[in-house]
Amino acid sequence: MNTFFSYILLGLSLAAPIGPINAAQIDRGIKNGFLHSWLVGVGAVIADGIYMLVVYIGTVQFLQTEIIKTFLWSFGSFVLIYTGVESMLSAGKINLEQYRKKDSPLKSFFSGFLMSISNPLTILFWLGIYGSILAKTATTYESAQLIINSCAIFIGLMLWDIMMAGVSSNFRKFLTSGILVYISLFSGLSLIGFGIYFGVQALNQLFT
């Protein structure tokens, strides 16, 4: 159960850094309400799921080799630490002053989906993070545990999506740049912590 909640926390940490998706959710929530903001996040999560599936199909059969497991843990560590540091460094550059016309719910959904699916760094991100999880789960647990861990990550992603939509649409007067700075700093620290853990796993894999 503790492992399940740790993967939910990982999903929350992956979704929390303020980037294009969260900026779009804030914009749609403030301008158009909860539904539009939520659908932006849903589109992005579905794109993430597609990339996770691609990573699973393309790499899982090779995960039994020691060199692949070491590479995945190392690459996952790099991606997490880099993303965490970037999130913290860019925390003070957040700007909420955006003006856009009201869009349809379907357009909000496809906006989030296309922003995520068209980002060339997304597949590398999920290769490092999800590939590392595959490397551990494939050798330690049965395949059912992989499904559980994947669902936990999705729960974390969707929880953040709902929170962002709720905050941006229902608590607009409390939504300030200062609050988002603290969110970015906290999520950055969380990602760095996960990155250090992944790095320790890579070192253990390398020297054992």
Cα separation of 73 and 140, whole Å? 15
Provide the number of structural domains found in the chain: 1
Its pTM surpasses 0.75:
no
State the sign of the Cα–Cα–Cα–Cα dihedral 50, 40, 155, 86.
Answer: positive
Q: How many CA atoms lie within 13 A of 207 on its CB side?
A: 6
pLDDT over 50 (residue 69): yes
Higher pLDDT, 162 or 53: 162
Dump pLDDT digits (tens) for 122-139. Answer: 666 777 777 777 777 666
Residue 42 is predicted with a pLDDT of 93
User: Which residues form the domain of 36?
Assistant: 2-207
Higher pLDDT, 40 or 4: 40
